[in-house]
Amino acid sequence: MLIQNQVGSLPSSRQTAGTPNNPGGTFGEAFVSELAPQYYSLVKAGKVFTLAATNVNLTGFTGGAAGTPAIGLYNPATSGTDIVILQARVGIKTTGSAATSNDFNFWMANQTTAGVTGTQTASRSMYSQQNTGSVSYGMVNTANTGALASSLVAPSISIGTTAASAAQTVGMFVDDVKGLIILAPGNYLAYGIYATTTSGTFDVSLMWAEVPS
């Protein structure tokens, strides 16, 4: 049996006929490998991107149309690409000066009939550190104009103080999604905090891979 490795890159499309090339890492390693770290080949191929909201007091988001989540992602219907969520990260500098519960959640909606046009922030390549190469339309802590009402698909991180006299709480939290959430072409994803805090300060980021759909 002849096995061909396509070294250092992903196929341009799904391989369903003929003798397929086996996607390999930059060393020619097989798809399942202990030679390189988990996301090395995806990052090296320029397929991993991130968006971050830095040092912000976030607005509560519960899936309403054109709301203001921490991060909004729209995958254009013509992209030909799946956006595969790898991780969400939340850095809490302070939960603020009032009782609260900081629940971060993933919300999604189908947008094939209407695009999203909120103020765009270009996604950053995790390999080149350039704001180019992503098919995503990203929005950071701004109204997601054109976004339809979305549904809760997964709770993410919950941390906070619910007492009447809330003490400041800090911490760093990682939701290791590992590709379970996929944003197909024409779909919209929002990552947001459930309730607005009083003088809370956060760093929030999403990291994802982009692969042919």
**What confidence tens digit (pLDDT) does each residue in 113-130 have?**
989 999 999 999 999 999
Q: Report the alpha-carbon distance of residue 138 to residue 120 in Å, rounded.
A: 6
pLDDT reported for residue 107: 98
Q: Structure pTM?
A: 0.88
First-to-last C-alpha distance (Å) of the chain: 28
- What is the number of helices (H) and of strands (E) in the chain? 1, 13
- Cα distances from 8 to residues 35, 47, 204, in angstroms, run 14, 11, 30
**What confidence tens digit (pLDDT) does each residue in 156-204 have?**
998 866 665 556 667 889 999 999 999 999 999 999 999 888 888 899 9
**What is the residue whose two structure tokens read 């802590």?**
141
**What confidence tens digit (pLDDT) does each residue in 53-94 have?**
999 999 999 999 999 999 999 999 999 999 999 999 999 888
